[in-house]
Amino acid sequence: MASSTRHWTEGNRLRLLENGEAFFPLVFDAIANATQEVLIETFILFEDQVGNELQLKLIDAAKRGVHVELVVDGYGSEELTPAFITALIDAGVHFKLFDPQPRKLGYRTNIFRRLHRKTVVIDGKQALIGGINLSAEHLRAYGPESKQDYAVLVEGPVVEHIHAHFSKNNDVATSPRWRWRSWPLRSRKPETGDNGKTGAMLVVRDNDQHRDDIEHVYRIGIRNAKRDIILANAYFLPSYRLMREFRRAAERGVKVRLILQGRPDMPIVRWLARALDDELLRAGARIFEYTERPLHAKVAVIDDDWSTVGSSNLDPLSLFLNLESNLVMRDAEFAATLRSNLEGLIETRCQELTLHKARLPPMLRRLISILAYHLLRRLPSLASGVPVGSSKPVVVTDQGLPPLSEHS
């Protein structure tokens, strides 16, 4: 079966976007200037200054005849109120929820296999893809808990693949429960273009045909690295195979630098990570903990021109459960820009982790190392046993809203 993912295109143009200050104004301006179509999917949408501004822009676009689709995750965006959603629907926005589930005894139960992608497509000509959610948490003004993250603006043939993937995966079969108006999407199938010099490829992870595509592309990139790997990742608990590639790269003399979260959420994650850190440090890798504020990045640069920006962490949720998307690029100028940015983080906002700091008490380190080894070896099979849940979003219409948060 033909797929728009893992397909290389040439002639694209890129722009790196750092944090909400660069990302949100560009998104809002693109929506304001859209003439045909706005497609958005996001894990988190909050009713804060960013979410409210987005709502106004989408309502205005829909009212002037632009086809607008907004897909949000039923777990990450559970606190959206009926009033917020109804205002969008009444204006003509096609609003969809991925796997919405009511709370049970006050707890959310739909915690696995989330729609974790963050994608915007405008008129089939521009796309934005990365790790930045549509929330004020990505603005410096949010305070010390604001997030450090990246996205990329792309124009060129790869936008067709991003558009096609969005349309295929967010299509909803007609159901008597929901009213749905079909919309003919334009057919755009260029493989090369004159927008720029960049080669680019959309790589996704889903629970159907692309279960390990993102991990596979990372492994190929690391395996072929000759000189330098620099990676920033918020949640770093990679698979056994990825760990092996990182270790082998460091052992053969590749300069491996990892920028990781300095403030992990859970102690058990930190202990498991410490066992992996110890192994990588002994192989010759260097690890830097970003401590200024929460790190939310999912980016990497390898050698002179290979880079990736996307939504996928290198942890079990992203690698084996969530729906994710990354853009992989071959462009020396873009890679140099991203590398320079990451090296700036290392120089000014990170603390290097040494073997002494990473080392746990011998018995505890031994126990955790054994646990981490067997856990990472068996994660793919363990993940296959997690219930899949909904594979398509639910269309919300004025006939009623699916159950959201009990606080809505």
- Residue pair 194/212 in contact (Cβ under 8 Å)? The answer is no
226 catalytically annotated: no
255 catalytically annotated: no
407 catalytically annotated: no
CA distances to 156, 226, 247, 256, 342 from 251, in Å: 38, 12, 6, 10, 23
Which one of the listed residues 73, 99, 123, 278 is annotated catalytic?
123
Which one of the listed residues 94, 96, 147, 296 is annotated catalytic?
296
Which one of the listed residues 213, 278, 298, 315 is annotated catalytic?
298
Which residues contact residue 327 at a Cβ distance below 8 angstroms, ignoring those fewer than 6 apart? 129, 152, 154, 158, 200, 201, 202, 203, 308, 309, 310
357 catalytically annotated: no
Q: What are the beta bridge partners of residue 287?
A: 258, 353
The secondary structure of residue 321, as a DSSP letter, is I
Kindly state the helix (H) or strand (E) to which residue 9 belongs, with its residue range: strand 9-18
Q: What are the beta bridge partners of residue 201?
A: 328
149 catalytically annotated: no
Which one of the listed residues 118, 125, 138, 161 is annotated catalytic?
118
Which one of the listed residues 48, 60, 212, 303 is annotated catalytic?
303
116 catalytically annotated: yes
Distance, in Å, from the CA atom of 399 to the CA atom of 178, rounded to the nearest integer, reads: 7
Which residues contact residue 24 at a Cβ distance below 8 angstroms, ignoring those fewer than 6 apart? 50, 53, 134, 138, 139
Which one of the listed residues 57, 116, 147, 165 is annotated catalytic?
116
Q: Please work out, in degrees rounded to the nearest 5, the angle formed at the alpha carbon of residue 74 by the alpha carbons of 68 and 75.
A: 135
* Residues assigned a catalytic role: 116, 118, 123, 296, 298, 303
